[in-house]
Amino acid sequence: MKNINSKNDLDKAIYSLVQLQSAQREMLKVQFGICVESLKPANIIKNSFNKMVNSPDLLKNILSTSVGLTSGYVSNKIFVGNSGNIFRKFFGHMIQIGVTTIISTNPEAVKAIGHRIIGAIFQRGPQS
């Protein structure tokens, strides 16, 4: 800001600062309204849901979790079968939790192993 030497310069400076203050007040009111609107529970839920749906990893996460849960369930059924033994059921549930966790947290490793197994099965041709 330049030096003020006269009453006219002072009046201009005051007018300029009042205009700046008025503009900033209006911008603050608008920002406050936006903030209040975004903090309403319905908007928080809507925005969270939109972020979740628009997440690029959503399908991959759902798929890896589904595969993990399915494989854990199948491993439990294979281990326990129709057994009535409580210890066998307990260990079956532990195996189910372990398999589900491993497959859900390491989908790329499981995918690579699956590709190797499928590749090994289909690369073998009829041997003479």
Are 68 and 111 found together in one domain? yes
Q: Are 39 and 45 in contact (CB under 8 A)?
A: no
| Largest Cα span, the chain | 109
d(CA 88, CA 81): 9
Check: CB of residue 71 under 8 Å from CB of residue 107.
Answer: no
Residue 69 falls within a domain, yes or no? yes
Q: Is-contact 1 13, C-beta < 8 A?
A: yes
Residues 86 and 109 in one domain: yes
Digit-coded pLDDT (tens) for 1-35: 678 888 898 999 999 999 999 999 999 999 999 99
Q: Is the pLDDT of residue 38 over 60?
A: yes
Is the torsion defined by CA of 17, 22, 24, 25 positive or negative?
A: positive
The better pLDDT of the pair 63, 14 is held by 14
Q: Which domain holds residue 97?
A: 57-123
Does some domain include residue 91?
yes
Q: Is 61 domain-assigned?
A: yes
**What is the distance between the alpha carbons of residues 66 and 52, in angstroms, rounded to a whole number?**
17
Q: Are 76 and 30 part of one and the same domain?
A: no
How many domains does the chain divide into?
Answer: 2
For residues 85 and 39, state if they share a domain: no
Summarised one tens digit per residue, pLDDT across range 78-127 is: 888 887 788 888 888 898 898 888 888 887 887 788 788 888 888 865 55
Residue 85: the pLDDT is 85
Residue type, 112: A
Which of 90, 92, 61, 62 minimizes the C-alpha distance to 74?
Answer: 92
Q: Is position 102 within any domain?
A: yes
